[in-house]
Amino acid sequence: MSIYFARECLRSTSELVVISKNSMESQATTVARERTTKQQDCFKFEYRPTDSGMTTESSRASMDEDARSPIRKVRITPGKSETNELAQGCFEDLWKHMGGNLTLEETRRYYDLMACHFDEEMADQQYNGPQIILEKLTDLGVTKEARILDIGCGTGLLGKAMSNEGFAWIDGIDMSEEMLRQAEKKAVYTKTTLLAIEPATDLTPLGDVQYDAICMLSSFQPGHVSPLALDGLIALLKPGGRVIWVRSSSIPAKHMTGPFQKEEWEKIKNDLAAKGLKAEDEGTVERFNRDKPGVFGIFTKYK
C-alpha cells in the first residue's frame, strides 16, 4: 500500500539507485546515466506489511536494510507521479500501519531517503515551526549571545531561521547523516553531531559545553526523541536554561503511547522537577503547518 510520495534529487549519477528488477532495468540504467548530474528523479515510498499486517522485529533482523524496513522507494515515471503528501502526514500514515511502533532506525531511514528535497516539501506545507520556536525564545528573553542546542536539527531549517535573527552559537544534532549533510551546507551551525538521542545515549561527544536553551522542533515525538531522554539533557543546560519543544498536534492520540501517554507524561514531568528540570508551560500554537495547529512545552533548569 502506497503511503506517500516524494522527489529525491541525485547528487551525482553514480548515486542513482535503480529499484526495478525486471528486464527493463539495464535500459533504465543506461538512460539514467546519460542524464546530467544533479537532476531530479521521482520515487514513491511504499509500506510493505507482513502477513500479520505489521513488520515484526524478528522478521526484520534476518533481512538486509532495504528488505527489513517497511519503507522502500520505487521508481515512478517522471511527470506521472501522484501529488506529494509528505511533511507531518507521512508519519501519521506510517503509524496507521505499524500501530505506533515506529523505530528510530525506521525514522532515520525515512529522513535519509527524504533529505535532499525535505526543505522544498516543508515549504509546500507552509511549515511554520522555526518561527514558532523563535517566538518562544524571544518571549523567554533568550539573548542572541545564547548558546543553543538544536536536537533533531534535520536539514537546518531552525538553525537557518535563528542565524537570520542574529543567533551566533547554534549546535545541531541529528540521527540522519543525509539530513545533517544538508544542514551543514547552510553553514549556520557552530558544530554538528551525528547522534540519536535515546534514554541511554552517551552525550560525551557533545563535550563539556552547557547551553542556554535546547530546542526540539518536530523531534519530541514517537519515533524520534522520547520523554525518557529528557533526564539526560539536564546536564547539558546551564542553571536557568530552557528546553523548548514544538510539534504537530495531528499525531493520532492512539499512537501517543508509553511515555507520551498523558498519565506517564505527567509522572515523567514530576520526576524531572525533582531533579531540577521543571515544566513551566505547555499548550497549543496556531498555524504549525498550513492551517493545522501544533503543541509546545517549556522546561526550566533550577538546580
pLDDT at 105: 81
The pLDDT mean for the chain works out to: 75
Lowest mean pLDDT among 29-43, 132-146, 162-176: 29-43
User: How far is Cα of residue 123 from the mean position of the Cα atoms in its chain?
Assistant: 15
pLDDT at 10: 31
pLDDT tens, 33-88?
A: 333 333 344 344 444 443 334 444 444 444 455 455 544 443 333 333 333 333 34
Cell numbers 524531572: residue:
272
Q: Which amino acid is at 227?
A: P
Stretch 291-298: mean pLDDT, rounded?
A: 94
The CA–CA distances, whole Å, from 218 to 70, 146, 286, 287, 298 equal 22, 22, 15, 14, 14
Which three cell numbers, joined as nine digits, stand for 276? 531540577
CB 150 within 8 A of CB 215: yes
pLDDT at position 1 over 50: no
pLDDT at 71: 47
Closest-CA residue to 233 (of 163, 173, 294, 156): 173
Stretch 194-198: mean pLDDT, rounded?
A: 94
> Domains of the chain by range and CATH?
2-124 (no CATH), 129-301 (3.40.50.150)
Q: How far apart are CA 188 and CA 128, in angstroms?
A: 19
Lowest mean pLDDT among 23-32, 130-139, 154-163, 172-181: 23-32
- Report residue 94's pLDDT band, with 50, 70 and 90 as the boundaries: low
CB 225 within 8 A of CB 258: no
CB 214 within 8 A of CB 151: yes
Which three cell numbers, joined as nine digits, stand for 7? 522527489
Can you name the residues that pair with 284 across neighbouring β-strands? 295
pLDDT at 114: 82
User: How far is Cα of residue 20 from the mean position of the Cα atoms in its chain?
Assistant: 28
With helix as H, strand as E and coil as C, how does the chain read? CEEEEEEEECCCHHHCCCCCCCCCHHHHHHHHHCCCCCCEEEEEEEECCCCCCCCCHHHHHCCCHHHHCCEEEEECCCCCCCCCCCHHHHHHHHHHHHCCCCCHHHHHHHHHHHHHHHHHHHHHCCECHHHHHHHHHHHCCCCCCCEEEEECCCCCHHHHHHHHCCCCEEEEEECCHHHHHHHHHCCCCCEEEECCCCCCCCCHHHCCCCEEEEEEECCCCCCCCCHHHHHHHHHHEEEEEEEEEEEECCCCHHHCCHHHCHHHHHHHHHHHHHCCEEEEEEEEEEEEECCEEEEEEEEEECC
pLDDT tens, 245-256?
A: 999 988 877 778
Q: Which residue has the higher pLDDT, 61 or 221?
A: 221
Q: How far apart are CA 6 and CA 113, in angstroms?
A: 9
pTM here is: 0.72
Stretch 20-30: mean pLDDT, rounded?
A: 34
Q: How far apart are CA 190 and CA 193, in angstroms?
A: 10
Closest-CA residue to 119 (of 91, 81, 158): 158
pLDDT at 100: 56
